Amino acid sequence: MKRPVVGVIANAHRVERRFTAQIVGERNLRAVAEVCGALPVIFAGAPDITDIGALLEVVDGVLLTGARANVHPTRFQTEAHPKHEPYDEARDALALTLAEVCVARGVPIFGVCRGFQEMNVAFGGSLHPEIRELPGRMNHRMPRLETGEIHPDPAVIFADRHDVHLVPGGAFAQLFGKETIRVNSLHGQGILEPGKRIVVEGVAEDGTIEAIRIADAPGFALGVQWHAEHDAQRNPVNRALFQAFGEALSARKREA
């Protein structure tokens, strides 16, 4: 059997502040190729370039990646503020619709960080632009030096920083074979109110929602707030997620 194909959403980026580009972090591509056993195919996060119907004729599943840009607040009836920029409204327009269509058609979909947030908004949920500003919450953003600069060591940036407590007997607890896991944390925006079909299955020690599934989805439809693409080849938590996604992709391909 040929390898499954995974569509990996790209993000708007400006090279040298002049040239527009669509980019994907290589960790995402390697996780798909090396752990899922699938062929990653990048598609533009822009509805005027990417036709959803045509995309889903080609791929066996979709990975909604993380990104620097926040989901635009108007997508969940909130006013935008310059301090929460950048935004990527073209990706919003594509990803939110794509999440709904994938779930409806049973196409495996896995949301990571921004992708996790997009899945929540697609089903009517809301986000908070700075989850650390809520009472009792920790700073979930990536580590910085005392000077305010981002820490230069990737091992520090992607280090496991907090526990996630999983719903006993839920999809994630079954997948990991345990009810507590430890994960990295590199986000500012986070889920405020879950959408109508969003089932919360994992919560950080400070109450921040970290793992979700879509209720009554006919196919794989999971999302995580942490960056599961990091070291998915060796990290047992992240590897288990991409392996499960890969199994769903293979099953989808056999059914096609």
Q: How far apart are CA 191 and CA 193, in angstroms?
A: 6
Residue 81 has pLDDT above 90, yes or no: no
3-state secondary structure of 17: coil
Q: Any catalytic annotation for residue 227?
A: yes
Q: Any catalytic annotation for residue 113?
A: yes
Residue 83 has pLDDT above 80, yes or no: no
Q: How far apart are CA 67 and CA 186, in angstroms?
A: 10
- What pLDDT does 217 receive? 97
Q: How far apart are CA 100 and CA 4, in angstroms?
A: 21
- What pLDDT does 134 receive? 80
Residue that has been written with the tokens 């993000």 in this structure: 11
Q: Which of 71-80, 148-157, 225-234 has the lowest mean pLDDT?
A: 148-157
Residues 6 or more apart from 69 whose CB is under 8 A from it? 11, 12, 85, 86, 87, 88, 91, 114
- What pLDDT does 183 receive? 97
In b/e form, how buried is each residue of 140-163, taking b as 16+ CB within 10 angstroms? Answer: bebeeeeeeeeeeeeeebbeebbe
- What pLDDT does 111 receive? 98
The pTM score is 0.94
- What pLDDT does 113 receive? 96
User: Is the previous residue joined to 86 through a cis bond, with omega within 30 degrees of 0?
Assistant: yes
Q: What is the pLDDT of residues 30-55, one digit of tens each?
A: 999 999 999 999 999 999 999 999 99
Q: Any catalytic annotation for residue 229?
A: yes
The one catalytic residue among 128, 140, 227, 230: 227
CATH number (domain holding residue 226): 3.40.50.880
| 196 within 8 A of 100, measured Cβ to Cβ | no
Q: How far apart are CA 31 and CA 114, in angstroms?
A: 17
Q: What is the mean pLDDT of the segment spanning 74-96?
A: 86
3-state secondary structure of 192: strand
The one catalytic residue among 113, 140, 187, 201: 113
The one catalytic residue among 201, 210, 229, 230: 229
Residue that has been written with the tokens 């959408």 in this structure: 195
Residue 213 has pLDDT above 80, yes or no: yes
- Phi then psi for residue 208, to 5 deg, are -70, 130
Q: What is the pLDDT of residues 106-129, one digit of tens each?
A: 999 999 999 999 999 999 999 988
Q: What is the pLDDT of residues 120-162, one digit of tens each?
A: 999 999 998 888 888 888 877 877 777 777 777 787 788 788 9
Please, which pLDDT band fits residue 1 given cuts at 50, 70 and 90? low
Provide the domain limits for residue 198.
5-255
Q: In what order do the strands lie in the sheet with 39-43?
A: 39-43, 5-9, 61-64, 109-112, 221-224, 209-214, 198-204, 162-166, 180-183
The number of domains in the chain is 1
For the chain, what percent of residues have pLDDT higher than 70?
Answer: 100
- What pLDDT does 138 receive? 84
- What pLDDT does 119 receive? 98
Mean pLDDT of the chain: 92
- What pLDDT does 54 receive? 97
| 165 within 8 A of 223, measured Cβ to Cβ | no
